[in-house]
Copies of this chain bind each other. A is one copy, B any other.
Amino acid sequence: MPQQILQSIKSIVSLNESEEEAFTKILDIKQLKKKEFLLQQGQVCNKISFINSGCMRLFYEIEGVENTVQFFFADRWHTDYDSFLTGQPTIENLQALENSEVVQFKKSDLYQLYTTHPVFERVGRILAENAFLSLSKLNKMLTNEEPQQRYLSLLSQRPEVVKNIPQHYIASYLGIKPESLSRIRKRIQNQK
């Protein structure tokens, strides 16, 4: 079901029939069960993924501690550019928080497309730009806000995250311990 990813691309550039066909050909659909990994540390990330449905969690594991970086819902792209570009093993883990469907294509196929259908250079550029924007937003949140404020922002901007995702993952995303998030929530309750 490449409709979603095609739509996402067509919001960037318009494709003619042959381009669309060439692109569809390189796509690969994957069903993930809850807790299954799309990407695990140590692997080389040589694919770009697009979430059709479900929810994924991106985290690093440092000295046994999981560090949640992002959540991905439907219609989001993902790749570890670092590993993708350098060929180094990734340190990212991308795990399904619920049963999910993703579409993927391989780096080698994409690079082929860059040559045969140059319009995809633009797609690649814009995807990288968007990845940058999203990370930059995250970064501003982490550097400019206190934990309590971060939680409130998340609550107002992404209520679906707070609703659907276990607290301790959210805590990790906010850069605090689960106990602290629990106390923050209590504090907020009492203020009302």
Contact = CB atoms under 8 A, between A and B. Distances in A.
Interface residues of A, number: 27
A143 B174 CA distance: 9
Interface stretch (A93-101, A132-140, A161-169): A132-140
Given A121-B125, A125-B125, A129-B81, A60 B136 contact: no
A133 B60 contact: no
Contacts of A135: 132, 135-136, 139
B139 A67 contact: no
A143 B147 CA distance: 13
A132 B62 contact: no
8 contacts: A60-B143, A81-B129, A82-B133, A118-B118, A122-B125, A128-B132, A132-B135, A139-B139
Interface of A: 60, 62, 67, 69, 81-82, 85, 114, 118, 121-122, 124-125, 128-129, 131-133, 135-136, 138-140, 142-144, 175
